[in-house]
Structure 1
Amino acid sequence: MEESSYSEFTKFSRRRRPCCSRGTQLALLALVTTALWAGLLTLLLLWHWENARNLKQLEETAALNVSQVSKDLERQKGDQMAQKSQAAQMMQDMERIQTEQKRMESQESELSWNLDGLRADLSDLKSRGLNEMRQALDSLGRLQEEVGKLWIELRAANAQPPGEMLPPTLSVVPTAPAIALSMVPNTASTLVPTTTTSTTAPTMVPSTTATTTAPTMVPSTTATTTATTMVPTTAAPLSLSSTPGSVCNTCPEAWIYFQKKCYYFGEGAKKWIQARYACENLHGRLVSIHSPEEQDFLTKRANWRGSWIGLRDLDIEGEFIWMDNQPLDYSNWQPGEPNDAGQGENCVMMLGSGKWNDAFCGSELHGWVCDRLATC
């Protein structure tokens, strides 16, 4: 069967006329192959060129990005350096400000101390001036008393004998000018009229002649003169409703009466000078203590944490003075006090036990005691 098929194919092939030769076919095949390879190579070249162009663009873009990043990094480094410099400058400014603040605080503290000292000195000068004024008024009162006595003696010496008329030597009793004695705080000097009577008794006056001497009785005239002198006395200031012989035991509201004086027990943290001005605003002064009874009274009512009192040695160290300028006739010091310890202790406080202790005037105590004379 195979043989028959082969014979038929041979016959058919022989019957068919070839259109071209075998060489032509090979040439065509070569051309087609070449064209295919040329097209493939062209495509490869185009793809390679496109890739090269893209790579070049990518390189340029990367270079630009790297340059931009480098610039950004440099700018960021510059900004960081500037920030560091600003931070260092700010730290220096802060240190300088802190130093200046400390210096200002020191100056403020020093100015505060100086101001407190000036206020204390001013108050002391005021107290001294008032004390000198009171002494001057006392001296004036004594001078008025002496003038009154001299006037009485002159009137007695110029007494008229019988039958003889002598001109009066003085017709008016001299008086001192009126002075407002209320300027002296808490002590009112009142003028009390007193009557002095001088009587001259009969005396023996001898008469002398050239030949004989005989004593004769010459009665001298008894002259009784009355002069009113102004003698200063010290008493509590009287109110308008006062009557002679009344007992002065009236105190303002919130003040406590004890032995002719009124006491105010202040509360609130204050320095000594502030407590002093607080008492002055209440028309009083820091308390002056002159007896154990007064001390016991204050101990029972004063602040248990300590209170300022009116004793200080601001003028002369160790020379303590009361606010009423009275001598230190009574003391109740804590054992070992006063010792002027620390940075200078020139003001006196009363402890909760009632004992006294010299303390720093700039310390703040929660208690302070004022006093003033009771009124009628």
Structure 2
Amino acid sequence: MKTRILLAIFGLSLINMACETTRKELSDDELMSKAKELVQQYIIVDGHVDLPYRMEQGGFMVQQKVLNVSVGASDGNFDFPRAKEGGLDAPFMSIYIPAQYQQVPGYAKKFADSLINMTKQLADTYPDEFAIAYSPDDVEQHFKAGKISLPMGMENGAPLEGDIALVEYFQKAGIRYVTLTHGRDNKICDSSYDTTRTHGGLSEYGRQVISEMNRVGIMVDISHVSDDTFWQVMELSKAPAIASHSSVRHFTPGFERNMNDEMIKKLGENDGVIMINFGSSFLDGEYRARRAAYDEHVINWLADNELTRDDPKAKTYIEEYTKNNDPWSNVQKVADHIDRVVELTGGTDNVGFGSDFDGVGDSLPTGLKDVSTYPNLIYELLKRGYSDEDIAKMCYKNVFRVWREVEEIASRS
């Protein structure tokens, strides 16, 4: 038996070596052409896109179509044409609840309901372009029909309002993951951004929430939680968890919002998935200092020349200055984070994409500025020797595996 296993591993190694050799023989143009083919061939799931909150802030209304993302939008990171160009098929719509909304009893739930209804309204208004997805099977069906699926995840469990019955309520409303908290501790657990450490991890109610999420079939999302909360979730949850939009702390020392090496290993051991956040501050610990220096220079130049950013001369200068002093991170750094996860977990089974498009402002990295740019990341991964199957796992197979396992565990409850 051991001999057969070793021969199989050796055979796979030879195949991978052959693939890498073939890739190295391809030109950059040929690799990009292949990347563009793969993004259309494979389903791409993105763990976190903040379109609903952007629609709420931008005044989305059906009749007036104030923010119509079924056609090209002049701002933001997401719309239908750009998503189709980039191959994005299933962006998890973030039902984002700002932490301040949890301070008024009942308001977080009311706001969550409004964003859920708005997302469903988007699909109802443009049924040829969008469809709500409640399962991987739905996503596959919509993919075949050329539609973009809109699964929903709740960012911040505050709308549960301390009422365990609301877990099932939101599952029936279409929520398929819950990010347990956001920028502050809530009734469920402690936040990575909050130094108060109210519960020392999960509250007693939070422990009940984990069990109930397992029972009804909602993925547990550990993005934003404190380290203590993460380890307690790993101990309690019967189902694998996801980090819907987090990156690797190795590249951002001291930034608890990202996951450290031991956490990533544990997530992998539990068959979970970390979906890499594209925000520059999540990718590069030196970004903030570079960005501050860049902004200071541009502001001072505008003041010295008595110009605004809209002046043609200013636009030309800023464009040229940016080329030579680009403060943002880049698509290569996203691939570095993926490499690190693969190294820590021993393979490509535990990593995916969680861009945070429409959620991280103008901090998106060079090469990944909107949903049309996934081919740039796939190109970089191909260039590094990842196989087509590796890329398929990152695009959708890994998160589908977790999603289906959560469904299976719920079906046995």
More helix by share: 2
**Same fold, judged at TM 0.5 (above):** no
More strand by share: 1
With the shorter chain as reference, the TM-score category is under 0.3
Q: Report the TM-score when normalising by structure 2.
A: 0.24
